[in-house]
Chain A
Amino acid sequence: MDAYFYIILVVGLLSSIICAAAGILKKAPNDTTILSVAAVELALLVYLVGSVVRVASGEQIAGELWEFWGYLATALLLPIGAVYWAILERTRWSNFVLAAVGVTALVMAARMNQIWY
């Protein structure tokens, strides 16, 4: 596991905890929860840029290339989709949808690390 994974681990877990807590407290999605999901997206973008740089500088991905990029592309779409949903229906339940993003991104980052090494 590399630094990219640990960044997403910390940011993803924090975001999930914040969003789940807001959901339990019966709050609708607000700036805090949406920004925490935006932070997950940012962490994934850092992973994307870092990976592009590493590949461009000649590093080899051990596993399937398209599998790695497929995971990364899907992971990048998750926060956007979840926030879009949260804006469409602003109830406490949308916070649980937002909470699912961090954990899912974390699992996908772990899988991406497995593919890379």
Chain B
Amino acid sequence: MEEAENVNAKSSQDGTSNPAGSASGITGAADAGPAAAGSTETGAAETAPPATDTRNTGPGRLLIAVYAVFAISATARAGYQILTKFSEAPLAYLLSAFAAAVYVVATVSLAKPGRTAFKVSVAAVLVELVGVLVVGALSVFDSVNFPHETVWSLFGRGYGFIPLLLPILGLIWLYRRRPAPRHH
């Protein structure tokens, strides 16, 4: 445990002391991936050290798994809608495709360590939250243009309201595992 934390601390220093650009930051953090994964087995999830790069371990894995299921199902559904009946409701089906893209980006960025991936995650999850709230509200008040056919319609009722719950849990998780402030 001691050793694992040392590795973690070292890896996050590597991340911060690397101003050369986001791309190299990602590779540096990616190298630390397995070491970070090992440290959570001892229950680091409960203590939630904010400085370590452990977003894709512990509860984070559950979050990624649920996002992955939504990415697959939303992509399949949007693809089906656009290929077979796009002209019926172009706006709703484009929204479906957009929602699918957001889920894919969120899944991938949540799974990746590093600062850039963190920012992408926050952006994707925020877009998702705004999307489910706006589309949810529109589908309630303007059901003509939004015929209940996207993941986000009626605040995701067709999916057990998980689409509404997911971004909130996602933001809480990202906040708890935010990267340490940058210092030179």
Residues of A participating in the B interface, judged by any CB pair closer than 8 Å: 26, 28, 67, 70, 74, 78, 82, 85, 88-91, 93-94, 96-97, 100, 104
Contact = CB atoms under 8 A, between A and B. Distances in A.
Given A89-B37, A90-B41, A100 B76 contact: no
Most chain A beta-carbon neighbours within 10 Å: one of B37, B58, B66, B69: B69
Given A70-B76, A91-B61, A93-B61, 17 more contacts: A28-B41, A74-B72, A85-B65, A88-B37, A89-B40, A89-B57, A91-B40, A91-B41, A91-B45, A91-B57, A93-B57, A93-B58, A93-B59, A97-B62, A100-B62, A100-B66, A104-B69
Interface residues of B, number: 17
Interface of B: 37, 40-41, 43, 45, 57-62, 65-66, 69, 72, 76, 80
A67 B57 contact: no
A15 to B, nearest CB: 15
Contacts of A96: 59, 62
Nearest to A111: B73
B62 A93 contact: yes
A90 B41 CA distance: 7
Given A67-B80, A70-B76, A97 B57 contact: no
A97 to B, nearest CB: 4
Contacts of B37: 88-89
